[in-house]
């Protein structure tokens, strides 16, 4: 009798479902996966090492590029760690702005996730629906920071600038006549807050739209129910965080358990799953989008009523206003020192974690009192999730591997760092 | 029309004339068919585009109308890369094996009363036989490429097409019983019982109709049954190593098959070229002037729209789930409904079976 061997296939790094540069070595028995071996490192950019060589503020931009679909949340973890060491007190308005943009980022991330997860399982339309809303969120990023993705908006001691009073508008072009432009600018007439407010009004209906396509869809359920099941105990042992952990039924959310910024003043719920399979994680993330929408709404209302500073009034760590720099010697010195040498952070270590859309994103910072970190360690949630890949797909079929990659919401920027 | 062809070719000896006439007929069918395939791709991109809140191709030519031409030109001038470890002969043969049956099946498809290339008695049997040959092209393509992805795709598609052929065949058995004939023209005539669209077979054979169409989607490897291509799992499946014209031929075969399934579904269940208002009061005479081929094309377009709609709406089935659906749901269902059809035919239940056949 012929000897039957399992065969291995090389899934990625150039694979349409590998979410970037994931390389999986799959040992297959027919269509069934016997072993999955994820390889990492193809997107390694030495972020941690780079951070050791430059003043603290100059690394904020690198944080955007870690998990490049939830940019501001990465910045948040980083600036929080520095603030912890400095003992800086962030103005309340800046905290609200940060929370609001954290939640905008959460929606941004989950929209990307639902789009690619849908695409992986073959629901092509999902992707374009999700990107329609993402466009508006990107515009919010752009309005506040000038960049659609890599914002570098959070700064140590606050945020870079206050929310703009006017929303950038479309202009007439070869393709859009006066009427088009008027229609497209309809919700951009007021300030950024008005635009965000308008978005929070529209967004729940959009989520309903996604749910119409997927939640009760038989094929979607057949493809996700019972796939990649993780028990709550195992999820904890594997170091899962975020929706991956909550999908298994563990109610753990840093925003509730270790509230940072103003989360303890806001009203929102934490959705948890029951079975810990792809479908439950899908439901958890869908509900998180709705909850994020709720939080954004509360922040918008508060921010409208409460103007104030958005940066600490300490020019050792915050840049002085432009006028002060141009007109006064002291301002000029502050400006020069800040943008060349930076600031010294007292000796010590700090760990700051935020509830990132993907899980617990932590920054462990070790300072020796210089203007650069002595060591920076990034705790990326995706890394722990990816390491469970083998366990989650073993015994499933090839098509389920794709579903599991989708449900883990992997982004290689943060895993490879 | 046909007389004109005979007069033009009158100078030829008899055998040559026959061949010339046949060739004329074939080209008369092939040209619109290939054009139809080209513009089906355009329609697909436009329609799915609008379903997905975008506009689709609109840059080549006015409103993008020349897009399919540009695409085919591009594919024609691209290099056909043959992987070094591939079996060259089979690698190049398999696209043809996939494409030829997709075209050959059209020989027996009538577009109007007697507007058909070969009006043979066992027309339906011929279609079944020819379309099942298409799977060879796909399996050989997967094998000849010598790539694991392609091979997986080929195995999947082989298994899928073979399984769904059974459900499809059973669905056709119901139609054959109801019509009492294997000739497609006569099957359509059997549906003309004077009640307009209610006299067609879709009503008494509703489950078979639905199963036939779904099996047709599975047969052509279209979404949500496109595991053979399985874009996100096995990249492109059996044609992952094909490029240029070799790929285009597979592509053409897939779309020609789609149109074929649409044509068959309208012939077998929606009364082919019959007017939906035929025999109804008021509306019947009102639409009498519309030529049959228009109805036929309209019905085909409807089914093609369904193909595209499904693609825009549904996620992809997993391979084993497709098998389960085919074997455990469709085959038993069709078997049961064949029994029911038998009873209906024997009991001469009107208006469909009251005219003394079977």
Concatenating the DSSP letter of every residue in A169-208 gives: -----SS--HHHHHHHTGGGSS-HHHHHHHHHHHHHHHHH
Task: Tell me if B316 and A122 make a contact (CB, 8 A cut-off).
Answer: yes
Residue of A nearest to B228 (CA): A399
Residues 6 or more apart whose Cβ sits within 8 Å of residue B160: B218, B221, B225, B227, B228, B319, B322, B323, B326
Interchain contact A17–B (C-beta under 8 A): yes
Give contacts of A121 with chain B, Cβ < 8 Å.
Answer: 232, 315-316
Interchain contact A162–B (C-beta under 8 A): no
CA–CA distance, A246 with B276 (Å, rounded to integer):
56
Q: How far is B311 from chain A (nearest CA, A)?
A: 8
**Among A128, A219, A397, whose Cβ lies nearest the Cβ of B319?**
A397
DSSP letter assigned to residue B239:
G
pLDDT of res. B318: 84
Task: Tell me if B54 and A7 make a contact (CB, 8 A cut-off).
Answer: no
Q: What are phi and psi of B313, to 5 degrees?
A: -100, -40
Give contacts of B230 with chain A, Cβ < 8 Å.
Answer: 399
Give contacts of A118 with chain B, Cβ < 8 Å.
Answer: 315
Q: What angle do CA B44, B46, B49 make, to 5 degrees?
A: 100
Q: Residue A159: helix, strand or coil by DSSP?
A: strand
Largest CA distance in chain A: 90
Q: What are phi and psi of B132, to 5 degrees?
A: -70, -20
Give contacts of B156 with chain A, Cβ < 8 Å.
Answer: 31
pLDDT of res. A363: 92
pLDDT of res. A364: 92
**Among A9, A122, A124, whose Cβ lies nearest the Cβ of B148?**
A9
Question: Best of A219, A396, A400 to disrupt the B interface by mutation (most B CBs within 10 Å)?
Answer: A219
Question: Best of A18, A27, A122 to disrupt the B interface by mutation (most B CBs within 10 Å)?
Answer: A122
Task: Tell me if A402 and B232 make a contact (CB, 8 A cut-off).
Answer: yes
pLDDT of res. B230: 65
Task: Tell me if B315 and A214 make a contact (CB, 8 A cut-off).
Answer: yes
CA distances from A19 to A68, A243, B108, B177 (A): 12, 18, 47, 52
| Region at A394 (left for phi over 0; alpha for psi -120 to 50; beta for the rest) | beta
pLDDT of res. A79: 92
Beta bridge partners of A10: A25
Interchain contact A400–B (C-beta under 8 A): yes
**What residues of chain A, 66 to 105, have a C-beta less than 8 Å from chain B?**
none
CA B351 to chain centroid: 28
Give contacts of A398 with chain B, Cβ < 8 Å.
Answer: 152, 233-234, 319
DSSP letter assigned to residue B238:
G
Give pLDDT tens digits for B147-164: 888 888 888 888 888 888
Q: What are phi and psi of B335, to 5 degrees?
A: -60, -45
**What residues of chain A, 30 to 49, have a C-beta less than 8 Å from chain B?**
31
Question: Best of B214, B218, B234, B318 to disrupt the A interface by mutation (most A CBs within 10 Å)?
Answer: B318
User: Which residues does chain B have with pLDDT short of 50?
Assistant: 356-358
pLDDT of res. B122: 84
Q: What are phi and psi of A289, to 5 degrees?
A: -65, -40
Task: Tell me if B312 and A125 make a contact (CB, 8 A cut-off).
Answer: yes
For helices B331-346 and B148-179, what crossing angle results, to 10°?
10
Give contacts of B225 with chain A, Cβ < 8 Å.
Answer: none
CA–CA distance, A217 with A52 (Å, rounded to integer):
50
Task: Tell me if B311 and A124 make a contact (CB, 8 A cut-off).
Answer: yes
Interchain contact A399–B (C-beta under 8 A): yes
CA–CA distance, A192 with A198 (Å, rounded to integer):
10
Residue of A nearest to B322 (CA): A219
Task: Tell me if B223 and A16 make a contact (CB, 8 A cut-off).
Answer: no
Q: What is the mean pLDDT of each run of 10 residues along chain A (417 residues)?
A: 78 74 85 87 88 90 88 90 89 91 92 89 87 90 89 88 87 85 86 90 90 88 88 90 89 88 89 89 92 92 89 86 88 90 89 90 90 90 89 87 87 86
Q: How far is A220 from chain B (nearest CA, A)?
A: 6
**Among A31, A124, A213, whose Cβ lies nearest the Cβ of B319?**
A31
Q: How far is A353 from chain B (nearest CA, A)?
A: 34
Give pLDDT tens digits for A319-359: 888 888 899 898 899 899 888 888 888 899 999 999 989 98
Question: Best of B222, B232, B237 to disrupt the A interface by mutation (most A CBs within 10 Å)?
Answer: B232
pLDDT of res. B358: 38
pLDDT of res. B357: 44
């Amino acid at each position: 009798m012929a000897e039957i061997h399992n065969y291995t296939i090389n899934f990625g790094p150039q694979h349409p479902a590998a979410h970037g540069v994931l390389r999986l070595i799959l040992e297959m028995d027919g269509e069934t996966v016997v072993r999955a071996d994820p390889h990492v490192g193809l997107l390694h950019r030495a972020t941690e090492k780079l951070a050791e060589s430059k003043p603290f503020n100059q690394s904020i931009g690198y944080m955007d590029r870690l998990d490049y679909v939830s940019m501001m949340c990465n910045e948040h973890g980083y600036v929080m760690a520095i603030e912890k060491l400095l003992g800086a007190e962030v103005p309340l308005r800046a905290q609200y702005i940060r929370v609001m943009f954290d939640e905008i980022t959460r929606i941004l991330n989950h929209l990307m996730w639902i789009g690619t997860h849908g695409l992986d399982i073959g629901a092509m339309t999902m992707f374009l629906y999700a990107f329609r809303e993402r466009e508006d969120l990107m515009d919010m990023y752009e309005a506040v920071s000038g960049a659609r993705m890599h914002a570098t908006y959070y700064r140590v001691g606050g945020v870079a600038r206050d929310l703009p009073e006017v929303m950038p508008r479309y202009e007439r072009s070869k393709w859009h006549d006066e009427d088009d432009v008027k229609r497209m600018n309809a919700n951009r007439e007021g300030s950024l807050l008005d635009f965000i407010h308008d978005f929070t009004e529209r967004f729940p209906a959009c989520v309903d739209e996604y749910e119409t396509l997927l939640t009760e869809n038989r094929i979607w359920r057949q493809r996700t129910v019972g796939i990649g099941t993780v028990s709550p105990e195992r999820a904890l042992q594997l170091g899962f965080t975020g929706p991956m952990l909550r999908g298994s039924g563990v109610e753990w959310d840093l925003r509730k358990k270790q509230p940072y910024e103003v989360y303890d003043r806001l009203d929102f719920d934490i959705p948890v799953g029951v079975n810990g399979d792809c479908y439950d994680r899908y439901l958890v993330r869908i509900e998180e989008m709705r909850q994020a929408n709720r939080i954004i709404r509360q922040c918008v209302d508060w921010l409208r009523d409460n103007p104030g500073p958005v940066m600490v009034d300490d020019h050792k760590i915050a840049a002085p206003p432009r006028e002060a720099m141009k007109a006064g010697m002291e301002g000029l010195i502050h400006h020069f020192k800040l943008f060349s040498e930076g600031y010294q952070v007292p000796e010590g270590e700090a760990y700051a974690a935020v509830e990132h859309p993907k899980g617990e994103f932590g920054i462990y910072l070790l300072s020796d009192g210089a203007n650069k970190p002595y060591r920076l360690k990034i705790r990326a949630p995706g890394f722990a999730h990816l390491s469970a890949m083998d366990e989650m797909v073993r015994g499933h079929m090839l098509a389920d591997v794709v579903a599991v990659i989708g449900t883990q919401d992997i982004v290689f920027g943060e895993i490879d760092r | 029309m046909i007389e004109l062809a005979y007069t033009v070719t009158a100078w030829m000896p008899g055998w040559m004339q026959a061949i010339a006439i046949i060739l004329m007929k074939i080209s008369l069918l092939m040209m619109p068919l290939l054009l139809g395939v080209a513009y089906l791709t355009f329609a697909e991109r436009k329609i799915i585009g609008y379903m997905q809140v975008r506009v689709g191709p609109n840059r080549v030519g006015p409103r993008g109308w020349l897009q399919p031409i540009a695409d085919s030109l591009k594919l024609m001038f691209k290099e056909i890369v043959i992987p070094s470890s591939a079996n060259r002969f089979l690698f190049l043969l398999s696209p043809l094996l996939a494409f030829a049956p997709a075209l050959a099946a059209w020989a027996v498809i009538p577009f109007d009363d007697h507007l058909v290339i070969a009006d043979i008695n066992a027309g339906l049997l011929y279609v079944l036989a020819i379309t099942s040959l298409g799977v060879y092209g796909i399996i050989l393509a997967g094998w000849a490429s010598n790539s694991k992805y392609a091979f997986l795709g080929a195995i999947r598609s082989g298994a899928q097409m073979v399984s769904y052929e059974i459900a499809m065949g059973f669905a056709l058995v119901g139609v054959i019983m109801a019509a009492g004939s294997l000739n497609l023209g006569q099957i359509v005539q059997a549906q003309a019982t004077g009640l307009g669209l209610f006299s067609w077979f879709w009503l008494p054979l509703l489950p078979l109709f639905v199963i036939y169409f779904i099996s047709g989607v599975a047969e052509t490897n279209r979404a949500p049954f496109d595991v053979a291509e399985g874009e996100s799992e096995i990249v492109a499946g059996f044609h992952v190593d094909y490029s240029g014209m070799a790929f285009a031929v597979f592509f053409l075969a897939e779309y020609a098959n789609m149109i074929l399934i649409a044509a068959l579904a309208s012939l077998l269940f929606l009364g082919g070229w019959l007017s939906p208002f035929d025999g109804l009061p008021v509306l019947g005479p009102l639409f009498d002037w519309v030529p049959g081929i228009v109805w036929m094309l309209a019905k085909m377009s409807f089914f093609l729209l369904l193909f595209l709609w499904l693609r825009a709406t549904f996620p992809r089935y997993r391979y084993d789930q497709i098998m389960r659906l085919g074997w455990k749901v469709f085959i038993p269902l069709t078997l049961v409904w064949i029994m029911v059809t038998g009873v209906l035919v024997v009991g001469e239940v009107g208006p469909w079976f009251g005219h003394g056949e079977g």
